[in-house]
A = this chain, B = another copy of it.
């Protein structure tokens, strides 16, 4: 493995576990076993390194999502039928848990993606959002088509609830920090995806505005 790749892998792990600002270039290069100056030589700056990590790991995931969502839209338009809500959700959620070709340690990779949904830091959020935008736009469009009885406002917020739940699920599932909390509830990714799709289908599909009394 060459130096550039060594740095990329170390940065991915540290960014995922500790966040961008908390991961110093010294920590990254030490973990990678290379010289401090080589980050700037190979990538130009710390921010450019983050961009490279995101491009390498997030791009394939978003390509799969976008392709699956486009297929659903095309089929829906050809057959002139409403897109199916659980199917949309699965297309949006599943790729985030791994594209199938997950080579190395899966947890760090997933944890990095999970940050895309919850990251409060502006530097990081800007980059992550840019990579997710096409898939997110198409997703919202499909949700509106699948839920024609709901106002744009309601679809928008239910979509936000979904993103929140998804981000939480990914981070809980892959972050080492939550081990104690999960304790007896170890769950494989497939089951977790199934539970999340079920949860979101029921929550988003409601056509009345309200539930419960009061």
- Determine whether A184 belongs to the interface, using a CB cutoff of 8 Å to chain B: yes
A84, A198, A214: which has the most chain B beta carbons within 10 Å? A198
- Determine whether A166 belongs to the interface, using a CB cutoff of 8 Å to chain B: yes
Contact B19 A120, beta carbon cutoff 8 Å: yes
Contact A212 to B195, CB < 8 A, known contacts A120-B115, A165-B165 = no
What residues of chain B lie closer than 8 Å to A214, measured between beta carbons?
Answer: 86-87, 90
- Give the number of times this chain occurs in the complex, counting copies: 2
Residue ranges of A at the interface with B (Cβ–Cβ < 8 Å): 18-19, 21-22, 84-87, 90, 115, 117-122, 125, 152-154, 156-158, 160-169, 171-172, 177, 184-185, 187, 192, 194-206, 208-214
Q: List 27 A-B contacts (CB under 8 A).
A: A19-B121, A21-B22, A84-B213, A86-B212, A115-B120, A117-B168, A118-B167, A152-B184, A153-B184, A157-B195, A160-B172, A161-B196, A162-B165, A163-B168, A164-B164, A164-B165, A164-B168, A165-B165, A167-B168, A197-B212, A198-B210, A198-B211, A198-B212, A199-B206, A202-B202, A202-B206, A203-B203
